[in-house]
Amino acid sequence: MNVQFLSPRFSHRKDVDVEMLDGNSDEEQELVTPNLSQSMTLVTPGQLITSDTQFMRGHGTYIAPPERMTSSVAGAVERVNKLISVRPLHTRYTGEIGDLVIGRITEVSQRRWKVDVNSRQDGVLQLSSINLPGGVQRRKTEEDELQIRKFFAEGDLLVAEVHAFFQDGATNLHTRNSKYGKLRNGSFISVPPPLVQRCKTHFHTLSCGIDVTLGLNGYIWVSKHITQSGEEIDPDAIYSNQNELIDDSTREKIARVCNSIHALSQQFMYINDTIISYAYEASLEYHVRDLRKPDIIDAICMEVSAKISLGKAGVL
């Protein structure tokens, strides 16, 4: 079976530089550049990354003689100061403390829930790690344990934060924040975890009036925007399973945002709020039901790539 890795940029456009290298070229080009962290660079196994000895080798790389840092996996090159690593595009999520993740409840047990977070094993959310309705601060009692399914049941979607790790590697989650908790009024979409770019915040409201929550585990939630202050939040609605009324226009916007994110993931482009907005604007020329056609996906991503290039040049 032939496996093909698509570049986030397009070789048939003359005005867009392609960062994938031709394996048949006589002279290999080094991929490490000062602005490497600003764009995605894809590599294949055995491909030269850099021969500069000032860089340190990270995961997914090895040193080939003479002093040539080479990729050992197919994925995206990442650079943190002098450390270079390659994150595989198709891999399970490996969590870090403080990561925001979206998960689905898979099992309810005594005083805890098991949560699918797109990792090698389910995460764990303990009863002591959630907020009670109304934000009451007290120890959880046996009565709370008996009513555990009133908080979360199998199949519920939630947004949480990675608090710690157990000895077996499972993630320990918590929702002790008003922003975290059960997800409603929206649609779920999954992308490869390496494509979700780390930002200062992962809760975004797009210009079209749609909320997007970007989970670093590759799970994304697109929902109706709700404007409520802390005083207006109904304490009993935190764990409610009842969705609010969503009009047809909002439903279409949610579907368009989801399809725009899907288009970006198909071309292995980084996903953040700005790039999603670019893709959404490019998709307005097409009907929602046509946004999953390969030719339209190509056209949308070409326009997004052009806007990213203009943004780097300071035009946008």
Confidence at 262, pLDDT banded by 50, 70, 90: very high
- Give the other-Cβ count within 10 Å of 245's Cβ: 7
pLDDT higher at 10 or 206 = 206
pLDDT at 248 over 70: yes
In this predicted structure, which of 161-170, 213-222, 252-261 has the lowest mean pLDDT?
161-170
Q: What is the mean pLDDT of residues 106-135?
A: 90
Which residues contact residue 39 at a Cβ distance below 8 angstroms, ignoring those fewer than 6 apart? Answer: 19, 270, 308
Q: Dump pLDDT digits (tens) for 63-119.
A: 998 889 999 998 888 888 889 999 887 788 888 899 999 999 999 998 899 999 999
Give the pair of three-digit tokens for residue 38.
């600003």
Is the pLDDT score of 19 beyond 60? Answer: no
Long-range contacts, stretch 256-261, CB < 8 angstroms, 24+ apart: 256/280, 256/283, 256/284, 256/288, 256/291, 257/206, 257/208, 257/210, 257/212, 257/222, 258/187, 258/189, 258/222, 259/283, 259/288, 259/291, 259/292, 260/291, 260/300, 261/189, 261/191, 261/220, 261/222
User: At residue 228, does pLDDT exceed 90?
Assistant: no
d(CA 101, CA 179) in angstroms, rounded, equals: 12
Q: How confident is the model at residue 146 (pLDDT cuts 50, 70, 90)?
A: confident
Residue 82's identity, in one-letter code, is: K
Using 50, 70 and 90 to split pLDDT, how confident is the model at 11? very low
Neighbours of 211 (CB within 10 A): 18
Q: What is the chain's length?
A: 316
- Cα separations in angstroms, 17 against 75, 221, 222: 19, 32, 32
As a whole number, the mean pLDDT across the chain is 84
- Distance, in Å, from the CA atom of 102 to the CA atom of 216, rounded to the nearest integer, reads 8
pLDDT at residue 122, as a whole number: 93
The per-residue pLDDT for 2 is 57
The answer to whether the CB of 158 falls within 8 A of the CB of 175 is: yes
Residue 230 or 129, more confident = 129
Whole-angstrom distance, CA of residue 183 vs CA of residue 157: 6
pLDDT single digits (tens) 190-224: 999 988 988 889 999 999 999 999 999 999 999 99
pLDDT the model gives residue 34: 42
Backbone angles phi, psi at 104, to 5 degrees: -125, 130
Name the pTM for this structure.
0.78
Among 190, 161, 195, which residue's Cα sits nearest to residue 78?
195
Task: Give 196's strand partners.
Answer: 271
User: What is the model's pLDDT at position 32?
Assistant: 56
